[in-house]
Amino acid sequence: MTSGMLERARWAARAFARYDKASVDRIVAAVARAGADNATRYAEWAVRETGFGVAEHKALKNVACSTGLVEEYAGHDYVSPRTDPAQKIVSIPRPAGVVFALTPSTNPVATVYFKILLALMTRNAIVISPHPMAKECCADAARTLAAAAAEAGAPDGVIQVIEEPKLPLIESMMADPRVDVIVATGGTPVVRAAYRSGNPALGVGPGNVPVFVDRTADLESAARLIVDSKAFDNSILCTNESVLIAEDAVADRLVSLMRGAHLLSPADRDRVREAVFPGGRFDTRFVGKDATWIAQQAGVRVPPGTRVLLAPIDRPMPEEPLAHEKLCPVLALLRVPSARAGIDAARAVLRISGAGHSAAIHSTDSRTIMEYGAAVPVLRVSVNSGNSLGGSGVHTNLPISMTIGTGYVGGSSAGENLQPGNLVNWTKLAYHVDAPFGDFAGLDPWSPPDGPVPRYPEPSNARTAPASPAAPAPQADVLREEIRRLILEELASLVRS
């Protein structure tokens, strides 16, 4: 299966790399519509299959990562050549080729949508490897988007999915030289495996988001945004707030305004800690579960409508389990005497885990905001915004993304929210500084597909011989000519090299 799937993807990538902007836009729009039309169905399916999160919130993410993503990049062009007469440079886009995309169980379908559309915007073929816990909804979503792409004129095999993901198969495919780039979203072991594969990889690190509220903050807004963010999809996004740091001067008022958040007593805090972190290690059965269920499992009574459990802690240190990342609506609460102490506390949280990922601050003091941003070792800081959808670009002007790069400080080659530009390189035609620059107006090396798009040429031994001679298929001549042209292109490239 590995060989056939990757050969088919490679064939599709070579064909797709010659498409013009209008053809690519048509395919991207059709796939985005198919994703948005099925957003609710796949959201509900994902919750049924994984047991994680809130269907309504997953549907919002599915829309954001389909039609919302396309709207975000409507003015961008990753297909047409760019000319810079002042610098005497022409830039020609070169797609990566075959993208091997690992998707998580926590944000399954949104990530499938996201990575497929990024690949299509940049004329790449993509093979989706879903997390085994979400394989059914992800595989069906990928097939739906593949059908929409093919109907709009994309090459056969431009979107494929591994129906039964197994670790040996995934490792084999990641190391296959026919894969041009791996885009890994998931746990640390998955990302490390991608980097060890020998192929180029774009991976991310874990989050552990500190959110600081200082004495100048709009407390009503901060309280509402933090609760909504922490409760969103039952805190399944890696951008969710993990530790709330509040200045003493406003901490009591802030907590009183956090409607839907229940402040745990020290005894109840200990019960929740022991349930969620038995033996000091996070119990994954709490991932994406709601606050009332978590409280029930811990033997804690909470008011109806509780969306977040606030757990007071004394110090942000590795020995305190509640200071670690929590993909569930349990939010640690730390009081500090000053803004300086709040900044230091946020740095301490990120030393535990989450370096490079994200942080948040609620403040109206520009100096404090600047000092916080300069001090915390992360690459995105949401300001006066919930971080779940702020860090991922839905509620800020950061790029909308389900893959959050953590940069060098987080052990990642990517330091930004993954975006289409990460999947394309540019060939530079650079003139001598004294040479006259050419006239490239109206020149475009790409074109629409010439006639019906041929299917991937399967090997003859993979087909059952017909009982009697059959007439040539209508596309046979087109297919033969396409194969001949590809072979000639390959030979020409060998001669040039």
The model's pLDDT over 195-234, given as tens digits with 9 standing for 90+, comes to 889 999 998 878 999 999 999 999 999 999 999 999 999 9
**Which domain CATH number covers 156?**
3.40.605.10
In this structure, are 307 and 161 located in the same domain?
no
pTM beyond 0.75 = yes
- Residue 137 CA to residue 149 CA, distance in Å, equals 18
User: Of 68, 185, 156, whose CA–CA distance to 422 is shortest?
Assistant: 185
- Residue 149 CA to residue 143 CA, distance in Å, equals 10
Tally of structural domains, the chain: 2
Q: What one-letter code names the amino acid at 488?
A: L
In this structure, are 289 and 347 located in the same domain?
yes
Percentage with pLDDT > 70 across the chain: 90
Structure token pair of residue 111: 């990530």
Q: Is 495 a member of any domain? A: no
Dihedral pair phi/psi, residue 79, rounded to 5°:
-120, -45
- Residue 400 CA to residue 418 CA, distance in Å, equals 8
Average pLDDT over residues 63-77: 96
pLDDT at 487: 41
Q: Is 48 a member of any domain? A: yes
Percentage with pLDDT > 90 across the chain: 82
Mean pLDDT across the chain: 91
Q: Is 163 a member of any domain? A: yes
Q: Which residues contact 38 (CB under 8 A, 6 or more apart)?
A: 62, 141, 144
328 is catalytic: no
Q: Is 460 a member of any domain? A: no
In this structure, are 75 and 62 located in the same domain?
yes
pLDDT tier, 356 (very low <50, low <70, confident <90, very high otherwise): very high
- Structural domain of 331: 209-399
pLDDT at 494: 35
In this structure, are 287 and 348 located in the same domain?
yes
Q: Is 490 a member of any domain? A: no
Q: Is 150 a member of any domain? A: yes
In this structure, are 147 and 292 located in the same domain?
no
In this structure, are 31 and 68 located in the same domain?
yes
Instruction: List the single range of 280-289, 436-445, 446-455 with lowest mean pLDDT.
Output: 446-455
pLDDT tier, 244 (very low <50, low <70, confident <90, very high otherwise): very high
pLDDT tens-digit map of 314-348:
999 999 999 999 999 999 999 999 999 999 999 99
pLDDT at 454: 65
Q: Is 410 a member of any domain? A: no
In this structure, are 154 and 280 located in the same domain?
no
The total of other beta-carbon atoms located within 10 Å of residue 282's CB is 16
pLDDT at 205: 79
DSSP helix/strand/coil, 451: coil
In this structure, are 196 and 213 located in the same domain?
no
Please give the DSSP secondary-structure letter assigned to residue 197.
T
**Which domain CATH number covers 231?**
3.40.309.10
Active-site residue, from 65, 137, 138, 238: 238
Q: Which of 382, 408, 425 is the last residue of a domain?
A: 425
In this structure, are 266 and 309 located in the same domain?
yes
In this structure, are 350 and 234 located in the same domain?
yes
The answer, yes or no, to whether residue 255 has pLDDT greater than 80, is yes
Q: Is 165 a member of any domain? A: yes
The total of other beta-carbon atoms located within 10 Å of residue 91's CB is 17
In this structure, are 56 and 75 located in the same domain?
yes
In this structure, are 359 and 379 located in the same domain?
yes
pLDDT tier, 486 (very low <50, low <70, confident <90, very high otherwise): very low
Helix 39-50 and helix 135-151: axis angle, to 10°?
Answer: 160
